[in-house]
């Protein structure tokens, strides 16, 4: 049981990467900058580090090492996590981690420049990000998909989303045909997907030729205590992992934009639940060139109840640390004089 408790995703040794400690940025900067990490790697390989990859054309899924437990990075655990969190999500969770300013900043690289665009919002939850999308795109062209009926029930109550299509589904197995959408948006959901590469491959598949994916997600902390709780809770990818996943799925013109709450003053050492917005363009119609094996997890399949309960409780306890971090940073921002680092 211990191993099934720990193995959120199995590392199958398909990808070996020698990654840097950080990405060599001179300082933290959310300031609306788009970072093309591949270009950065070309101009400064010594600082960015060397990425050695042996990517097979057909790989079994689960490309991220299971070096940490990440107890809620499982479909069933995430389902039950949101059964409870959906009650307070919009009022307690979002204000600390995902403000309207951040959302609009993160959606800007998605180029939502035509009201007639077909848009899918994957892991759309209570529709907080969809509210940002429908400022630019007609609601009738937007589909909100989520595995949690409890989250979607909140989205259904929002007046500006009345005309959106709202459906239950799995980010790793989308119920849309290939070449369907102009834009794929997913905000704050990847951290719960047992196999993030599979979800990003799906993003590629459902987009039309020239369509754009915009995936907003967490970034990994560097401070030891934050790292500990992050690793117990869920997946906090490193910036270079997002780029790798997008590249392997077949995306081109991949960009990463750093985001964060204003009162953090650019601090990223505690990680961020919404820390970056990654975009990529689909260069050819059809399916992704990346082949994957069968899905590892299905929320409808029975799970070992004891394993489930332990993961759920430990993961949820670790998550409470991340309720406290934004409050701590907010107090620091109030106390430390402006212009000084916090
Ligand atoms: C942090 S919430 C983000 C909600 C919304 N996108 C927002 O910006 O507020 C994460 C959402 O991802 C959903 N989710 C987690 N795993 C999923 C999966 N495999 N497929 C679809 N949705 C998933 C959860 O149910 C939850 O509603």
How far away, in angstroms, is 273 Cα from ligand 1 center? 12
Is the shortest distance between the CB of 148 and ligand 1 below 6 Å?
A: yes
Report pLDDT digits (tens) over 108-164.
Answer: 999 999 999 999 999 999 999 999 999 999 999 999 999 999 999 999 999 999 999
Beta bridge partners, 35, equal 256
Q: Mean pLDDT across the stretch 212-227?
A: 97
How far away, in angstroms, is 173 Cα from ligand 1 center? 14
Block residue for tokens 């959120």: 8
Report pLDDT digits (tens) over 269-287.
Answer: 999 999 999 999 999 999 9
Residue 301: CB atoms within 10 A of its CB come to: 8
Residue nearest atom 4 of ligand 1, based on CA coordinates: 125
The pick from 187, 189, 277 for probing ligand 1's pocket by mutation, whose C-beta has the most ligand atoms within 8 angstroms, reads 189
**How far is 81 from 322, CA to CA, in rounded Å?**
14
Is the shortest distance between the CB of 147 and ligand 1 below 6 Å?
A: yes
How far away, in angstroms, is 171 Cα from ligand 1 center? 9
**How far is 165 from 176, CA to CA, in rounded Å?**
12
94 CA: nearest ligand 1 atom: 9
How far away, in angstroms, is 188 Cα from ligand 1 center? 6
Q: Mean pLDDT across the stretch 257-270?
A: 96
Contact 210, 282 (CB under 8 A): yes
**How far is 293 from 324, CA to CA, in rounded Å?**
39
Q: In which band, very low, low, confident or very high, does the pLDDT at 65 lie, cut at 50, 70 and 90?
A: low
Confidence (pLDDT) at 63 = 56
Q: Is 107 exposed, middle or buried (0-12, 13-18, 19+ CB in 10 A)?
A: buried
Please give the C-alpha separations between residue 22 and each of 85, 219, 303, 308, in angstroms, as whole numbers: 32, 11, 37, 34
Q: In which band, very low, low, confident or very high, does the pLDDT at 16 lie, cut at 50, 70 and 90?
A: very low
Q: From its phi and psi, is residue 96 left (phi > 0), alpha (psi between -120 and 50) or beta?
A: alpha
**How far is 176 from 232, CA to CA, in rounded Å?**
33
**How far is 103 from 273, CA to CA, in rounded Å?**
12
Report pLDDT digits (tens) over 175-204.
Answer: 999 999 999 999 999 999 999 999 999 999
User: If you average pLDDT over every residue of the chain, what do you get?
Assistant: 84
How far away, in angstroms, is 74 Cα from ligand 1 center? 12
């Amino acid at each position: 049981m211990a191993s099934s408790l720990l193995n959120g995703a199995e590392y199958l040794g398909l990808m070996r990467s020698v990654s840097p400690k950080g990405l060599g940025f001179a300082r933290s900067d959310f300031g609306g900058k788009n970072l093309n990490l591949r270009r950065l790697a070309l101009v400064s390989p010594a600082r960015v580090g060397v990425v050695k990859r042996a990517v097979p054309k057909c790989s079994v899924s689960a490309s991220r090492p299971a070096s940490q437990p990440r107890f809620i990075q499982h479909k069933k655990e995430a389902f039950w996590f949101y059964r409870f969190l959906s009650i307070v999500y919009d009022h307690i969770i979002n204000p600390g981690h995902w403000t309207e300013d951040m959302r609009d900043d993160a959606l800007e690289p998605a180029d939502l420049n035509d009201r007639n665009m077909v848009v899918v919002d994957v892991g759309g939850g209570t529709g907080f990000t969809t509210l940002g999308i429908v400022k630019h795109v007609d609601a009738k062209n937007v589909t909100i998909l989520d595995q949690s009926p409890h989250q979607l029930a909140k989205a259904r109550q929002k007046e500006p989303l009345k005309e959106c299509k709202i459906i239950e589904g799995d980010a790793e197995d989308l119920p849309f045909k290939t070449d369907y959408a102009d834009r794929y948006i997913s905000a704050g959901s990847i951290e719960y997907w047992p196999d993030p590469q599979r979800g990003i491959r799906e993003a590629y598949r459902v987009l039309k030729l020239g369509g754009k994916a915009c995936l907003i997600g967490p970034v990994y902390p560097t401070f030891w205590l934050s790292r500990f709780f992050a690793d117990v809770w869920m997946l906090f990818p490193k910036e270079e992992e997002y780029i790798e996943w997008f590249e392997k799925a077949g995306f081109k013109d991949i960009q990463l934009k750093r985001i964060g709450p204003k009162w953090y003053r650019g601090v990223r050492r505690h990680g961020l639940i919404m820390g970056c917005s990654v975009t990529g363009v689909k260069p050819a119609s059809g399916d992704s060139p990346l082949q994957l094996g069968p899905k590892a997890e299905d929320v409808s399949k029975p799970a070992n109840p004891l394993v489930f309960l332990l993961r759920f409780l430990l993961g949820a306890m670790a998550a409470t640390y991340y309720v406290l971090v934004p409050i701590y940073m907010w107090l620091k921002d109030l106390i430390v004089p402006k212009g000084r680092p916090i």
